[in-house]
Structure 1
Amino acid sequence: MQFFVWGRDRQGGFDVKVKLNEEHWSFMDGYADQLIARGPTLTSHSDDAETTGSLHIVDLPDEDAVRRFAYEEPYYRAGAFESVDIYRFHNHTGRTMWDFANAVADYHRYLVMTTDVGPVTPTEHFVLYGDLFTTDNRARVGQAALVEAPSLAAAASVLPIAEAHPWEFGGRR
């Protein structure tokens, strides 16, 4: 089962995360074979951007496993997050972020989410796209896409009634 896990930073969370990067990456190393996508949401795509959250899409056996993943993670345990959203994720692309090779010069990457459940026509600029469900898979609550686009406004237009956040591929640097 794939799960979408997004920890939204609390004020001051960035400083906590900077101190714990190695612990976070080591924790994620234990899930390397199960990660579908990972990376920070950001204030912008500039060199001085700060994180606003941490996104992970991970393939785990059940709700208990995803809760351990989310709540034993070092950033969470240290109080870096204001909230953590956990959803079942039905991946319509059938790939991981590492399978995406369509990077366009001068485009950036974004996390786009909506509570709308209307039809979407994915393009070659979708890194991943899927439906969001409650963790028990009983109710569809929205959609999420990781996309590349020339701007935040262009990214926000791919899903109806969307919120969009600068995002980048994550992992060890």
Structure 2
Amino acid sequence: MEFFCYHRDRPGSTPLRTEMVEEHWAYMDRFGATMIARGPTFTSDETLTGSVHILDLPDAAAARAFAFEEPGYQAGAYRDVLLRRWRNTLGRTMWDFGDGRPDNDRYLVLGFCEPTADDIGLPDGDELIACGPLLSDDGAVVIGAAVLLEATSAGVAGSSTLSPDQFAAIEVHQWDFGGRPA
């Protein structure tokens, strides 16, 4: 089962996150084989705002354990956690994406919609890194979408990815590939 996990930073937690980076990476290393995508979100001045992890785990209990046993969560770095079932519509990982285009930035676009059992319109294109619906716990109901992509700006990422006609709320966050530096 695939899960989307977004730990949203508590305001002012960047020093704590920086102090705990090795603990965070060591924890994530344990899940390396299950990762579809990962990386930090941040503001234009590079202040951390969150941490995205998309993983393939055995079940919801394993996903909850992953999210709430994370060292930064345990230390109080995060204000909340968005944890949802997810479906990998591209069928690949972020490492399969390649280098992308140097003139583009990377973004996380989240859209939230009225719950529906129907498929929702998701984008396609070469700029997509990871894409899929956010699902109910049983996977039967779509409640939104999470898209990682490259775009020339946050405005382009938001306006070209998810339709405001279909999604009641759309969030755009600067994002980048994460993990231990090579």
Same fold? TM cut 0.5: yes
TM-score, normalising length from structure 2? 0.89
Identity of aligned residues (%): 45
TM (norm. structure 1) is 0.94
* Structure 1: segments with no counterpart, 5+ residues: none
SS in 2 for 1:64: helix
Matched, 1:164 2:166: no
Whole-angstrom CA distance in 1 between matches of 2:63 and 2:123: 29
State the match for 1:121 in structure 2: 123
By how many angstroms is 1:72 displaced? 0.6
Total equivalences in the alignment: 170
- Give the secondary structure class of the aligned counterpart of 1:115: strand
1:74 equivalent to 2:65? Answer no
Is the 1:102–1:124 Cα contact (8 Å) retained in structure 2? no
Separation of aligned partners in 2, 1:51 and 1:79: 15
**Matches of residues 7-156 of structure 1 in structure 2 within 5 Å?**
7-44=7-44, 48-101=45-98, 103-116=100-113, 118-156=120-158
| Paired amino acid for 1:130 | G
Inter-CA distance 121–72: structure 2 relative to 1 (3 Å threshold)? closer
Q: What residue is the counterpart of 1:4 in the other structure?
A: 4
Please provide the CA RMSD for this pair. Answer: 1.2
**Structure 2: gaps spanning 5 or more residues:** 114-118, 165-169
Q: Map Cα deviations across residues 116-166 of structure 1 (whole Å, 9 max, x no partner).
A: 374233110000110110223232101111000000000001112321100
C-alpha deviations, 1:42-68, integer Å up to 9, x for none?
112xxx411100000011000110111
